[in-house]
Structure 1
Amino acid sequence: MTRSHRPGRQTDLTPAQAFDALYAFCAPALVRQAYLLTGRREAAREAVERAFHLAWQRWPEVARDPDPAGWVRAAAHECALSPWDRLRPRHRHPEPPPADPAHRALLQALRDLPPPHRRTLVLYDGVGLDLPETAAETEASTPATAHRLLYAREAVAARLPELAAPGVLHRRLTEVASAERLRATAPTSVRTNCERRARFWTRAAMAFTASLIATTALTLRTAPTHYEPPVPPGETVQGLPPRVAPGPLSQREARLRAKLRSQVVRGPDRLLPVPR
């Protein structure tokens, strides 16, 4: 890509039209680059879609960026190298490898590289960025980027000696990325899915906020308004026998109670109430 051509910055286009133009210009190449980074066709396509989802969500920022294509490329590469993708169920099943043995060997050599070194090699020898641009996009210093590039080239050349020359490596990377039938989703579908996902998360956030408010109101309504200290456990007082709960009456006590109850009414006159 040349710096003079920057899709998405035309002032006479609507945001949707500018986004579609940027997508049509960048998406096919980004899918091929993501395929070199991941070695998986579906993962490459999803990485590019997630990158354009982020671009559409932040479109005012992306539209004002000096290099919108570079912004989306950096996002796509970060999504492709995200360690969380390995936990997704669909990525646990292997995909059919390329038919060409040379292509399979190069993809395996790339996947064995550390992610920062792999990304540096793809940007420099695959995309064609110079060293300062590669360092800026990978957020590393220029000496560190040069060290990563040399290490990646040596590792690939150790396994595939025929790719020791940078020109040959560049041609082979282009062949591997172009040999597969990698298709990007239509831009309208990407925008629609992004907007649908944004509406879903907005509604989920609103529902969570409403439930939190309802729970807080219920707690304030049912919570006690004053402090009640807990009742301390009982202690035995020295010198006093513990209180014993009354038990069942014996036969003698039962007869005495029955006798008392029977004699209360027929007792002496002094115990009877005097009628008035």
Structure 2
Amino acid sequence: MTRRPTNTPSDRPSPTGTPDTEPTAVTTTAPGAPDTEVPAPADPPGAGDRAAEAFDALYAHCATALFHQTFLLTGRRALARESVARAFALAWEHWPEVAVDPDPVGWVRAAGYEYALSPWHRLRRAHRRPDPPPPEPAAHALLDALLALPPCYRRTLVLHDGLGLGLPETAAETEASTPAAANRLLNARAAIDALVPAPAGGDGAAEHPAPLAERLGALALTPSPGPLPTPVRVRTDSERRARRWTRATFWFTLLLAGLTLFTLATAPTRHETPAAPAQRIGGVPPRGGPREPEPRELSLEKKLRGELFRGPARLVPGTG
């Protein structure tokens, strides 16, 4: 996951009504010393327990809020719960980095948003059908208009108007320039206003429409998060997944090394040009030379050779 620059936490409430802030790092305070951040030792006694406690506190602080935010991005409760579990599993896998991050909530939020907006989910059978719409017609229309936006517009709108992040922080988290983020925000607001007119707020005066941030907050609180996985289960699943990937990487490396050694042992040491396949050649003149003797000529030759020793005595060389 690509880490965005450090965000400045905002004092505006998130769609869940919980401030989107979190202690910046795990701190160690000595008795009588000022409450300042100090670097933790490399492997202190009980570091694993303190890391688990800090992770559980972070999970309890923003897991429900992250569910509501990812529901605004996807419109699917099951995918929102899956995004929460995946984001925190990734955070536990990179906990040394998350623990010292100035904004751990933003780290987890960025991971959850990226997983929720992944285009591969549309190919999964479990997420092809949308969830039942909210019972209120206004909430239903707002959710349909929000899901009709491009993913980058939707994310920018949720971060800026839903969570109350500033424009530079929104641009940094979406990995865009500030003018590009402002353009996305204006286009998203215009599309929402065109599809869903703002209802009257307060006492019903038409000149005081309800702000979009309040409408997004109310829409985010519409679905119930249901039974989110416990932090212990998230940590256990993350560790099990890490062990499984480690074993798979080890065996794949071993297999690749074995195939390499087998190839080196069986590969030829020199190149031999293969013989060309036989082809019929036409237009060649017949082979020259004496012709084959006929049977009559062969019998005459044989007769002459045989009469050499049975002829007159004067033709046979003497012995003495």
User: Aligned ranges for residues 249-264 of structure 1 at < 5 Å?
Assistant: none
- Please tell me whether residue 9 in structure 1 is matched to residue 52 in structure 2: no
Please show how residues 42-121 of structure 1 align to structure 2 within 5 Å.
42-121=78-157
Alignment partner of 1:201 is 2:245: yes
* 2:225 is the alignment partner of 1:182: yes
Q: Shift of the alpha carbon at 1:239?
A: 5.6
Could you tell me how far apart the structure 2 residues matched to 1:145 and 1:128 are?
14
Q: Residues 216 and 175 from structure 1, CA distance in 2 versus in 1: closer, same or farther, beyond 3 angstroms? A: same
TM-score between both structures, scaled by the size of structure 1: 0.79
TM-aligned CA distance change 1:75 to 1:166, over 3 Å: farther
| 3-state DSSP of counterpart to 2:135 | coil
Contact preservation (8 Å) 2:24, 2:103: no
Hey, what does 1:272 align to over in structure 2?
none
TM-score (norm 2): 0.69
Contact 1:124 1:134 in 2 (8 A): yes
User: Quick one: percent identity of the two aligned structures?
Assistant: 56
Residue in 1 that maps onto 2:311: none
Name which of structure 1's ranges 22-31 and 95-104 shifts more when overlaid on structure 2: 95-104
Q: Secondary structure at the match of 2:221?
A: helix
> Offset of 1:153 from its aligned partner?
1.1
Q: Note closer, same or farther for the CA distance 1:163–1:122 as it changes in structure 2 (3 Å cut).
A: farther
Q: Gaps (5+ residues) in structure 1?
A: 242-276
Which structure has the bigger radius of gyration? 2
Displaced runs of 4+ in structure 1, greater than 6 A?
Answer: none
In structure 1, what is the Cα distance between the partners aligned to 2:199 and 2:114?
26
Give how far 1:203 is off.
1.0
Question: What is the SS of the residue equivalent to 1:179?
Answer: coil
Q: Distance in 2 between matches of 1:218 and 1:92?
A: 46
The number of residue pairs the alignment matches comes to 241
Contact 2:198 2:209 survives alignment (8 Å): no
Q: Does 1:224 align with 2:268?
A: yes
Q: Describe the SS at the equivalent of 1:162.
A: coil
Deviation at 1:2, TM superposition (A): 5.8
Cα displacement (A) at 1:167: 5.0
1:191 counterpart (235, 243, 250): 235
Choose the corresponding residue for 1:171, options 214, 217, 220: 214
- Return the alpha-carbon distance in structure 1 between the equivalents of residues 76 and 21 of structure 2: 30
The amino acid that maps onto 1:6 is E
Aligned residues: CA RMSD: 2.5
Cα 1:139–1:163, aligned 2, differ >3 Å: closer, same or farther? farther
- State whether residues 53 and 191 of structure 1, in contact with CA within 8 Å, keep that contact through their aligned partners in structure 2: yes
Is the alpha carbon distance of 1:63 and 1:126 closer, same or farther for their aligned partners in structure 2, counting shifts above 3 Å? same
Matches of 1:71 and 1:168, distance apart in 2: 28
| Residue deviations 1:108-145 (CA, integer Å, cap 9, x gap) | 00001111111111111111112222122112222222
Higher helix share: 1
Distance 2:254 2:10 in 1: 50
